[in-house]
A and B are shown apart, each in its own frame.
Chain A
């Protein structure tokens, strides 16, 4: 695995706070995939959270100080890779908006933003990586998380990658581009509305007739999987990276 060529990019893996706490296996899958795609992977030790809760709550000053903290620790890497569309979009799209153009911090934010990628699109678009020798006999369906889809244009890449997994068939999910109702702090600030939205999403997932639900954002996956489990569904959820790394043999999100 660590047979990276001398010109291999040095990738800083920003694992996200949810993966760090709830499901580290996604982080290990990301390391394995990045190494398989010929990258040297490091884990910046001072990383915590990208700051979305502050940003989305309107606390711009708080978000800016978290951005400064994060920018400083990501600057040394050739590329920054994040196994989440919404956290990647926070760094790539929103960090530069937090600083006045023309200032040093704005320049630093832009520089890091331009080198930051969501994991699946990085593997496919930048590393041109395709899975080899990975198999999983299952019927899956895929939910496009909104930030990745609309802020980063991630739609074809995960499907392209998953098409290389032997034995896995992907069924279309009705409304796969419609929000699942997670929305970060939204789901706990307005739980009843969030619930109505995810109920509809769960019905579509059930109707797809798949065994497993895949996606690229743990927050959304936790929301959908949590609803499915509460309803007694048999559908189990994984991050697409776990499947691609051949690490979906263990328990699904939640078990």
Chain B
């Protein structure tokens, strides 16, 4: 048991009953609805394997599909930019905004935008950023980073949101119902949509055979973000590629059911190129920024499976650790099981080594993942690497070293057991140990059953072998 930045954040989260309530309300509903959606879909298991195969196929032929996508996107009139890392991606976006003389940009929710630090880059460039997704709007007002990849404001209760809106909205009105709160946000945001010079969005799918970008939302804010401004910028990770619209639809069925339990999102929009002659609306410039930021390295680092991720959030909703500590405790852009795999890629293992360890390896994340990502195996991979690179605390290494020596020397192991068990019994009362040296990690929160007597191996020492 060592105190680290992670455990400090986790302790803070554990001490916050409001947070617990907020997490359980949203993830509890999500779990129930997902279970119902999966139960009502007899082909789920087959669809899951198909989804896995589609993503694996694209990942194995990434170069081919990227080239095809670029060709078709250019043909549609889009401009395509390539960014090797977060910094390049932000520089590209900021320079497009500057070229457009933009003072204000609207942004539709995009985890990739968070990953590359776009909100900070825009602020540094003096460009006003208006988040248009309701949850992103909430956390922008609160000055928080997202705490969930599907519900960024998961950590706020509706009561807390009401307070925020009352404090920040020009015309908040009554906050009695969720509907009234949404109406207040709508009044606040409407004018901003129309005044923006540039709209920035993410992508759920990049469709190679047409060069189109598909986004799915439930609020319609993405459409209002991407249509009125003169310039539309899409930022997308290169793993979002699919061969065709049909493939995107196969994955969409998995994505939406796994995320919210619905069959489809309210809005499924395809953007292909800028406004054409005769179009009533649409941007006159359409930019696509394709971002690597560690993804090709994942291919060679044994993390190719992770590139299947659809960002559905099911693994977060079902994770016993996430459900107790919430998203901020993870300290990276992506929380929960998928975040514990990705954050070491993005922030480096020394800074995030707690994340792969703070997992019980119970496997529920893998079970619910719609593209069957073996998250526990990938987390084990990071633990192996931590060990090889000597990142484990010295106390842990020392303890495990002694323990391993005993395990490999049964006679000594028996002696150690014969000495330890009576010693442990000294601390017991009525069958339970409430406190014992070196066992604080256990006994601070729970009692330890007292060993019932001599060890099994000692008691069976004279047992005759079977005939």
Q: Using Cβ atoms and an 8 Å threshold, which residues of chain A touch B451? A: 21-23
A227 at the interface (CB under 8 A from B): yes
Q: Is the CB of B466 within 8 A of A4?
A: yes
Q: Using Cβ atoms and an 8 Å threshold, which residues of chain B touch A66? A: 404, 407-408
Q: Is the CB of B1 within 8 A of A191?
A: yes
Residue-wise, chain B 358-369 has the 8 Å CB interface mask toward A (1 for contact) of: 111111101100
Mostly, the A contact residues are helix
Q: Complex Cα distance A47/B456, Å?
A: 11
Q: Complex Cα distance A56/B400, Å?
A: 11
Q: Is the CB of A183 within 8 A of B360?
A: yes
Q: Is the CB of B362 within 8 A of A192?
A: no
Q: Is the CB of A59 within 8 A of B400?
A: yes
Q: Is the CB of B361 within 8 A of A56?
A: yes
Q: Is the CB of B466 within 8 A of A58?
A: no
Q: Is the CB of B441 within 8 A of A187?
A: yes
Residue-wise, chain B 3-14 has the 8 Å CB interface mask toward A (1 for contact) of: 000010011001
Q: Using Cβ atoms and an 8 Å threshold, which residues of chain B touch A2? A: 466-467
Chain B interface: which size bin?
A: 35 or more
Q: Is the CB of A222 within 8 A of B448?
A: yes
Choice from A54, A183, A192, A227 contacting B14 with Cβ under 8 Å: A192
Choice from A25, A40, A190 contacting B7 with Cβ under 8 Å: A190
A226 with B448: in contact, given A58-B387, A69-B408 (CB under 8 Å)? yes
Q: Using Cβ atoms and an 8 Å threshold, which residues of chain A touch B420? A: 21
Q: Is the CB of A197 within 8 A of B466?
A: no
A229 with B404: in contact, given A43-B463, A58-B392 (CB under 8 Å)? no
A183 with B456: in contact, given A65-B408, A191-B442, A226-B446 (CB under 8 Å)? no
Q: Is the CB of B445 within 8 A of A225?
A: no
Q: Using Cβ atoms and an 8 Å threshold, which residues of chain B touch A23? A: 449, 451-452
Q: Is the CB of B456 within 8 A of A230?
A: no
Q: Is the CB of A48 within 8 A of B400?
A: no
Mostly, the B contact residues are helix
The smallest beta-carbon distance between B340 and chain A, in angstroms, is 12
Choice from B320, B358, B382, B444 contacting A179 with Cβ under 8 Å: B320
Chain A residues 147 to 188 lying within 8 A of chain B, measured CB to CB, are 147, 150-151, 177-179, 181-184, 186-188
Q: Using Cβ atoms and an 8 Å threshold, which residues of chain A touch B168? A: none
Most chain B CB atoms below 10 A, which of A24, A223, A225 = A24
B164 at the interface (CB under 8 A from A): no
Q: Is the CB of A229 within 8 A of B357?
A: no
Q: Using Cβ atoms and an 8 Å threshold, which residues of chain B touch A53? A: 400, 403
Q: Is the CB of B14 within 8 A of A197?
A: no
Q: Is the CB of A58 within 8 A of B385?
A: yes
Q: Using Cβ atoms and an 8 Å threshold, which residues of chain A touch B457? A: 15, 20, 43, 45, 47
A51 at the interface (CB under 8 A from B): yes
Chain B residues 311 to 334 lying within 8 A of chain A, measured CB to CB, are 320-321, 324-325
Choice from A57, A179, A225, A251 contacting B383 with Cβ under 8 Å: A57
Q: Is the CB of B364 within 8 A of A193?
A: no
Choice from A60, A181, A192 contacting B387 with Cβ under 8 Å: A60
Choice from A48, A193, A196 contacting B413 with Cβ under 8 Å: A48
Q: Is the CB of A193 within 8 A of B14?
A: yes
Choice from B7, B360, B417 contacting A182 with Cβ under 8 Å: B360
B388 at the interface (CB under 8 A from A): yes
Q: Using Cβ atoms and an 8 Å threshold, which residues of chain B touch A197? A: 320-321, 324, 360
Residue-wise, chain A 37-80 has the 8 Å CB interface mask toward B (1 for contact) of: 00011110111110101101111101001100100000000000
